[in-house]
Amino acid sequence: MTVVAVLHDVALAAHFFPRLVVLDGGRIAADGGRDVALAPDVVRRVFGVDPALVARPGIVVPPD
């Protein structure tokens, strides 16, 4: 089964989908699992922000 969803909440997308495609200006900037599609260099280049992972008690990030 294939599900295509357009989400602007990258944390939500990363939580529910094993594969992410990041678009930048209508072009594919990254395609793969969370570690690839949301890598710090991709986030900096596409979204113009410096990413940080903040660990919160009781929140478990599922593995890719």
Note the pTM of the prediction, 2 decimals. 0.74
CA dihedral 24→30→33→35, nearest 10 degrees, is -100
* Report for 3-7, 45-49, 54-58: range of highest mean pLDDT: 45-49
Give the residue extent of every domain in the chain. 1-64
Q: Is pLDDT at 64 greater than 60 in this prediction?
A: no
Q: Give the tens place of pLDDT for each residue, 10-33.
A: 889 998 999 999 999 999 999 999
φ/ψ of residue 21, rounded to 5: -120, 120
Residue located via tokens 């930048």? 24
Helix (H, G, I), strand (E, B) or coil at 27: strand
Residue located via tokens 């922000």? 49
What is the C-alpha to C-alpha distance for residues 22 and 61, in angstroms, rounded to an integer? 20
